[in-house]
């Protein structure tokens, strides 16, 4: 009798799991505060709150040497050098899945990103995957501003000796700030028809998104971590300060499965809480065009760097 009861429970458990997402190995019930390892011990964690309002005066720029030990208001530096150029191929027949319950993820293997940091050092990365968080993970102005959705395009450094280095391009989508318009990239994934963790095969149209991003001159940059366990601290964050349009209908699946789903994380969403900035500096791109980075061909690593208006 006892064994039969256990068996019945196991069958019930298995049956329930067949109709739910694949089991995740971390959860958002406490917005990440219960994760361990570097997630709790690290001092270079992501996401962060960006004190955007303090960037009002470009003349307030000081050198990074002068900044250490100063308060948050001095940890913000304008730079003319910050820039990136993304070159992603469109994909037919990519599998879109909510692989571990925590997000929608797409694995990609054809796309490159050239990033120039505040010291004008150039690094080349390869796109590995992208996924979404709703609401946004990065916040602004003491958490008073969250965007509707944040896309993370995750890249790995091209050079064999530095493949532990990652670059994540963070892109916001927001009905108010970006406009209530159909976004062709989101639409191409047809996520609204996705059912639980069944991988849907779709054409993924990154062209329009990338064209927009490469024109974007509003950028923040800081060094941080993955925002999911193991929270590895080797990420060059490039946060695009130019929210993209999206409609309520396009947001519906993200809201339904994460942000407004009380059985997922009490309806809080799949965003980790913001982390202390500590001694880090947040860089913002100077508003004038200083450099143009051109990547010659999607598989080529040749770069043409031209200087203008400096
Ligand atoms: Zn992410």
pLDDT value at residue 188: 84
pLDDT value at residue 71: 43
Select the CATH number that applies to the domain covering 2-307 from these four: 1.25.40.10, 3.30.565.10, 3.10.200.10, 3.30.2130.30: 3.10.200.10
Kindly give the distance from the C-alpha atom of residue 180 to the centroid of ligand 1, in angstroms, as a whole number.
23
pLDDT value at residue 198: 59
pLDDT value at residue 220: 93
Cis peptide before 133 (omega within 30 of 0): no
Kindly give the distance from the C-alpha atom of residue 66 to the centroid of ligand 1, in angstroms, as a whole number.
32
pTM of the shown model: 0.81
Kindly give the distance from the C-alpha atom of residue 81 to the centroid of ligand 1, in angstroms, as a whole number.
26
Kindly give the distance from the C-alpha atom of residue 169 to the centroid of ligand 1, in angstroms, as a whole number.
10
The residues spanned by each domain of the chain are: 2-307
Contact indicator for 17, 11 with CB cutoff of 8 Å: no
Query: CA angle, corner 147, sides to 142 and 293, nearest 5?
Result: 100
Find where tokens 């458990």 sit. Answer: 13
pLDDT along the chain (310 residues), means of 10: 44 36 72 92 96 61 41 65 87 65 78 91 93 94 91 95 96 96 88 61 79 84 95 97 93 82 82 92 70 46 38
Task: Give the largest CA-CA distance in the chain.
Answer: 82
Kindly give the distance from the C-alpha atom of residue 40 to the centroid of ligand 1, in angstroms, as a whole number.
17
Contact indicator for 128, 154 with CB cutoff of 8 Å: yes
DSSP states along 84-139: EEEEE--EEEEEEB-TTSS--EEE--SEEEEEE-TT--EEEEEEEEEEEESS-SSE
pLDDT value at residue 213: 86
Distance in angstroms (rounded) separating the CA atoms of residues 164 and 162: 5
């Amino acid at each position: 009798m006892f064994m039969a009861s256990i068996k019945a429970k196991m069958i019930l458990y298995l049956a329930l799991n067949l109709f739910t997402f694949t089991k995740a190995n971390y959860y958002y019930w406490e917005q990440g505060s219960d994760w361990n390892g570097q997630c709790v011990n690290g001092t270079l964690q992501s996401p962060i709150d960006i004190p955007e309002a303090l960037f009002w005066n470009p003349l307030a720029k000081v050198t990074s040497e002068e900044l250490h030990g100063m308060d948050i208001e001095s940890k913000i530096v304008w730079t003319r050098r910050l820039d990136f150029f993304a070159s992603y191929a469109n994909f037919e027949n990519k599998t879109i899945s909510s692989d571990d319950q925590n997000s929608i993820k797409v694995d990609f293997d054809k796309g490159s990103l050239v990033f120039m940091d505040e010291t004008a050092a150039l690094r080349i990365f390869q796109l590995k995957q992208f996924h979404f968080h709703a609401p946004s993970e990065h916040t602004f102005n003491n958490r008073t501003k969250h965007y509707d959705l944040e896309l993370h395009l995750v890249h790995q450094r091209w050079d064999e000796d530095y493949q532990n280095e990652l670059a994540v391009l963070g892109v916001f989508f927001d009905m108010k700030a970006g406009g209530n318009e159909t976004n062709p990239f989101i639409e191409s994934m047809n996520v609204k028809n996705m059912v639980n963790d069944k991988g849907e095969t779709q054409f993924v149209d990154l062209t329009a998104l990338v064209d927009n991003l490469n024109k974007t001159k509003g950028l923040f940059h800081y060094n941080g971590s993955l925002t999911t366990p193991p929270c590895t601290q080797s990420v060059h964050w490039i946060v695009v300060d130019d929210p993209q349009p999206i409609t309520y209908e396009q947001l519906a699946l993200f809201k339904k499965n994460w942000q407004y789903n009380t059985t997922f994380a009490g309806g809080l969403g799949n965003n980790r809480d913001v982390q202390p900035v500590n001694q880090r500096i947040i860089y913002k791109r100077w508003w004038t065009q200083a450099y143009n980075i051109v990547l010659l061909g999607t598989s080529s690593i040749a770069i043409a760097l031209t200087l203008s208006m400096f």
